[in-house]
Amino acid sequence: MIVGEDIKGIRLFDMINGEEDINDLEKRLCDYNDDSLYDFFLSNIKEKFRFHVLSLPHTVTREDYCACAYTMKVLKFCKMMKKRGHYIIHYGHEDSVVDCDEHVTLITNKDMEKAYGDFDWKKNFFKHSLQDHCHITFNEKGKKEIKNRLKKKDFVLPFWGKGAYWIVEDIKKDGRAIIVEPGIGYHNSWCDFRIYESYAVLHHTMGLQNSKKPSWYHCVVPNYFDIDNFEFSAEKEDYFLCLGRISKCKGVHIAIQATEKIGKKLVVAGQGDILVELGVSKLPEHVEYVGYADMDKRKKLLKNAKALILLSDYVEPFGGTAVEAMISGTPVIVPDWGVFHETVMHGLTGYRCRTFEQICWAAENCDKINPNDCRNWAVKNYCCARVSLMYEEFFLQLYNLWEKGWYQENKNRKELHWLDKIMP
């Protein structure tokens, strides 16, 4: 659904495919201010949608909660879709900092204190339960606040899935809105209309739910990134990086073993008690733990690392840190399953591995990966401006359900690029 017109009126994808000089395009995609890309990516969709964006009951929608992928999805979705001209109503914590047309407070600091006390989410992974005070309050207030603002043909988006279950069930009875799970990276999805963040999690969920027949209205739109939050560097320092939730399920222990084997430094950053997780009293000498990584620390760690090591031992739904690394020009070392088959181009932006020997080889040869290829691939396919158009295409498909539905014509269509991948 992308028709990009800018230089000489040439379509964006014609330029990418080599039909015209792409130097200007490359500059705007890779040496840019993210805002400039919204002018470059033009849409055929004339409709402007109204979105009721339900955030998370246990976090605050702002950048310092960057450790929570779902909170960041809410933050970036509001920003990028408002830039596209859509109307955004955000529902969440009173201290949220969101680019929206209206913010509605459902959770206060007093609610957070009542539910979680003085829990330090920067040292430990987020504390929450679907039955805790914040989740119950969020749903009770949310039902009333949304109904007061709801108009026919609106979209209601529960980003935390069943964390907004009672709001969703109440709105279903109302009949004025289409409810869409907008960024599924979990396995208990239940709405009629769903957007998964990868084909890996879509197919995994179908297996778990014993669903043998796909739905036309369960689609895939990848996670998306504000590239202004990252810096590119082709020059690397002499360390490898593990960034994210500190857990054996993320392969931190294997990263420690591999870097010890090749005699290199490993920096570990993120939520969790690394000593408890590893079951040790002290870390090996080649490992440095630097604690929680806020936006600034995250940016510096990612751009300077020789490679990011992310060895999830489960079917990873997305693993956004890998894309953040590539945006920063840093190659990634990942397993050969889950989303990584979709996001990591083996031998070009990193290595997908299946044995310890392969992991060690990848680490010793990561300098063979061109940082510019990493950045070009990640920016072109996962920047907010690009992915916002994929969202628009699917929301239009759903919007048409108010008319002729699946058979609805679109006389404005000039292309079908919404699923295209743009090569480095």
Kindly report, residue by residue over 28-69, the tens digit of the pLDDT. Answer: 554 545 555 555 555 556 789 999 999 999 999 999 999 899
Neighbouring-strand partners of residue 332: 308, 350
Do 104 and 246 have their domain in common? Answer: no
Residue 20 has pLDDT above 60, yes or no: no
Do 160 and 289 have their domain in common? Answer: no
Say if 187 falls within a structural domain.
yes
Residue 214 sits at the vertex; the CA angle it makes with 213 and 219, to the nearest 5 degrees, is 170
d(CA 289, CA 241) in angstroms, rounded, equals 10
Do 82 and 197 have their domain in common? Answer: yes
d(CA 304, CA 328) in angstroms, rounded, equals 8
Q: Which position has the token pair 């990640």?
A: 378
Give the H/E segment covering residue 54. strand 50-54
- pLDDT tens per residue across span 262-279: 999 999 999 988 999 899
Do 245 and 301 have their domain in common? Answer: yes
The residues, ordered by sequence, that sit 6+ positions from 175 with a Cβ below 8 Å of its Cβ are none
Total domains present in the chain: 2
As to burial, measured by CB atoms within 10 angstroms (0-12 exposed, 13-18 middle, 19+ buried), residue 415 is middle
Residue 27 has pLDDT above 80, yes or no: no
* Nearest by Cα to 290 from 71, 122, 127, 125: 122
Do 207 and 270 have their domain in common? Answer: no
- pLDDT tens per residue across span 326-351: 999 999 999 999 999 999 999 999 99
CB 167 within 8 A of CB 54: yes
d(CA 67, CA 232) in angstroms, rounded, equals 20
The predicted pLDDT at position 126 comes to: 83
Query: How many helices and strands in the chain, by DSSP H and E?
Result: 16, 15
Residue 21 has pLDDT above 50, yes or no: no
Say if 3 falls within a structural domain.
no
The pTM (predicted TM-score) of the whole model is 0.91
Say if 57 falls within a structural domain.
yes
Do 141 and 237 have their domain in common? Answer: no
Average pLDDT over residues 378-391: 95
Say if 285 falls within a structural domain.
yes
Domain containing 79: what range? 50-226+384-407
CB 53 within 8 A of CB 89: yes
d(CA 255, CA 270) in angstroms, rounded, equals 14
**DSSP label of 127:** P
Lowest mean pLDDT among 120-134, 210-224, 329-343, 379-393: 120-134
Q: What's phi and psi for 217, nearest 5 deg? A: -110, 25
Residue 365 has pLDDT above 60, yes or no: yes
Ordered DSSP codes for 13-33? HHHHTTSS--HHHHHHHHSS-
d(CA 11, CA 40) in angstroms, rounded, equals 10
Tell me the angle at which helices 371-382 and 384-399 cross, rounded to the nearest 10 degrees: 30
**DSSP label of 227:** G
Quick one: CA torsion of 109, 113, 119, 122, rounded to 10 degrees? 0
Say if 63 falls within a structural domain.
yes
The predicted pLDDT at position 2 comes to: 29
Say if 28 falls within a structural domain.
no
- pLDDT tens per residue across span 132-144: 999 999 999 999 9
Domain containing residue 222: CATH number: 3.40.50.2000
Average pLDDT over residues 93-119: 96
Do 328 and 346 have their domain in common? Answer: yes
Do 389 and 246 have their domain in common? Answer: no
Do 334 and 210 have their domain in common? Answer: no
CA atoms within 13 A on the CB side of 59: 26
d(CA 316, CA 213) in angstroms, rounded, equals 23
Say if 422 falls within a structural domain.
no
The predicted pLDDT at position 157 comes to: 98
Residue 270 sits at the vertex; the CA angle it makes with 53 and 121, to the nearest 5 degrees, is 60
- What percentage of the chain has pLDDT greater than the value 70? 89
Say if 12 falls within a structural domain.
no
**Cα separation of the two ends of the chain:** 20
Of 362, 379, 396, which one is at a domain's C-terminal end?
Answer: 379
Average pLDDT over residues 103-125: 90
Do 262 and 166 have their domain in common? Answer: no
Residue 122 has pLDDT above 80, yes or no: no
Do 57 and 126 have their domain in common? Answer: yes
**Average pLDDT over the chain, rounded to an integer:** 90
407 vs 31, higher pLDDT: 407
Do 186 and 301 have their domain in common? Answer: no
